[in-house]
Amino acid sequence: MLYFRTSASKSTSFQPRQLSTRGRFSSNCEREKGLLANPSKHHEKQIDKGVSKPMFKSNKLFYAMLVMLGGLWGCAENVNESPPSEVKTTQAVTPSNATETSPLSQAKARALMTAYTQAFEAAWASSSAAGLGALYAEDAVRLVSDEQLPVYGRAAIQKAHKNNLALNPAGTKISTFTEIARFLTPEIVLAAGTFNVVDAQGTPLQRGYWSNAMKVTNDGLQMLLESAGNASPNGMNPASLAVAQTVSENFTGAGAALLDQGVNAYVQGTNTGNVNAVANLFLTDGIQVVSGNDRIIQGRAAILDAMNAATGPEVTLSAWGYGYQKIDTNLAIGWGAYKNVDANGAPTEYGLWGNIWRITDNGLMLVSERAGPYSGQ
């Protein structure tokens, strides 16, 4: 849910900082995109149900064969091409808490993601906003670093893609690599990876990370939650910071109390330097995809190591929720925004966050955290 970026994690002489109190969700985090207008209002909008057709509709036979082969491939780890050399990944400790972790099921998940990313790349290359829109569920939520606000629903997401595609130079291509793919339930797939955008001459234009919740349908996968952002290891672009705005409104719909609890626990641990408390909010095979790390981290132990090794100026984080949606009996997606301020109270970063949560008897635990700064202008 939230992005951990303070540097005080290991020091025993660290002085706890005052927890920010921005409404109900005074929390601290680094999240993805900026700052809102009226998130709860947007979230309640009804989504037009006739905008686009199910993905892969014309390729059912191919897709069925691909999924069947995925089930036979066993431990096939390299279904996609090799990851870009600049991307670093910390491997997980022994997985647990996942519904299916066998090599067979992971191969199926990878096969599903291969078909999905191939369709996404093809639609991008042909500048087909309709083709991209068809890859999202009707009630999907999109949180990406070039948008200050979440985008709700297939129709709005398709429109956003249309606007973005119009700005791309001719011949622009996107390539994606699936680093992690596994079933959380028979109907939900967690996937995380990297993306690279190049122009017609192959010159890099953009690179970053994503961690998404995918829904299994008869025609393949559809995106439920897209949480993606540019790699920004050096912090927020000053030009983006200059135009970002904060919003004090908080999500108050169904699930708000659970989301509030999870966000505040993360923020309190962050602002007091209690990295163990923050790490324990993750499942043992949880995933952290945050821009400050410039890599994908898998496993609670590895996440704890990364937080202990964090360096940089001290900041105080505040975070708040924009929405929460159950996607299975014990799974939910939750999203919102965050702000960092320095010791003088001056803003240093704004962003959005979009996470997958496991619902437990003791509250929410992080299956996947994806957060990063706004990079638009």
- Please tell me the distance from the alpha carbon of residue 269 to that of residue 311, in angstroms, as a whole number: 17
- Phi/psi at 120 (5° precision): -65, -45
Q: How many helices (H) and strands (E) does the chain have?
A: 9, 13
What residues make up the domain containing 136?
A: 52-91+98-230
**Domain count across the chain:** 1
Please report the pLDDT score of residue 249 as a whole number: 67
Buried b (16+ CB within 10 A) or exposed e, 85-124: eebebbebeeeeebeeeeeebbbbbbbbbbbbbebbeebb
Residue 285 token pair: 């095979």
Please report the pLDDT score of residue 102 as a whole number: 67
SS3 129: helix
- DSSP summary character for residue 91: P
Contact 208, 229 (CB under 8 A): yes
**Which CATH number goes with the domain that contains 62?**
3.10.450.50
Q: What is the mean pLDDT of residues 194-207?
A: 93
Residue 15 resides in a domain: no
pLDDT at 376 over 60: yes
Q: What is the mean pLDDT of residues 23-32?
A: 34
Torsion of CA 368, 373, 375, 377, to 10 degrees: 130
Residue 120 resides in a domain: yes
Residue 78 resides in a domain: yes
- Please tell me the distance from the alpha carbon of residue 184 to that of residue 186, in angstroms, as a whole number: 7
pLDDT at 140 over 90: yes
- DSSP summary character for residue 85: T
Residues 6+ apart with CB under 8 A from 282: 288, 300, 303, 365, 366, 369
- Please tell me the distance from the alpha carbon of residue 210 to that of residue 84, in angstroms, as a whole number: 14
HEC string of 207-242 equals EEEEEEEEEEECCEEEEEEEEEEECCCCCCCHHHHH
- Phi/psi at 136 (5° precision): -110, 150
Mean pLDDT rounded to a whole number for the chain: 78
For the ranges 118-127, 135-144, 303-312, 365-374, the lowest mean pLDDT is seen at 303-312
What's the burial of 157, exposed, middle or buried (CB within 10 Å: 0-12/13-18/19+)? buried
Residue 67 resides in a domain: yes
End-to-end CA distance of the chain: 24
Give the model's confidence band at 204: pLDDT under 50 very low, under 70 low, under 90 confident, else very high. very high
Residue 257 token pair: 């109390």
- Please tell me the distance from the alpha carbon of residue 323 to that of residue 242, in angstroms, as a whole number: 26
More confident residue, 365 or 19: 365
pLDDT at 193 over 60: yes
Percent of the chain with pLDDT over 90: 59
Rg (CA), the chain: 19
Please report the pLDDT score of residue 44 as a whole number: 38
Residue carrying structure tokens 């011949």: 171
Residue 117 resides in a domain: yes
Residue 195 resides in a domain: yes
> Residue 337: what residue type?
A
SS3 17: coil
Give the model's confidence band at 142: pLDDT under 50 very low, under 70 low, under 90 confident, else very high. very high
Please report the pLDDT score of residue 27 as a whole number: 35
Please report the pLDDT score of residue 45 as a whole number: 37
Residue 27 token pair: 């929390």
- Over the stretch 44-85, which tens digit does the pLDDT of each residue have? 333 333 333 333 334 443 343 333 334 333 333 333 333 333
Residue 149 resides in a domain: yes
Q: What is the mean pLDDT of residues 243-247?
A: 72
- Over the stretch 268-315, which tens digit does the pLDDT of each residue have? 999 999 999 999 999 999 999 997 788 999 999 999 999 999 887 889
Residue 115 resides in a domain: yes
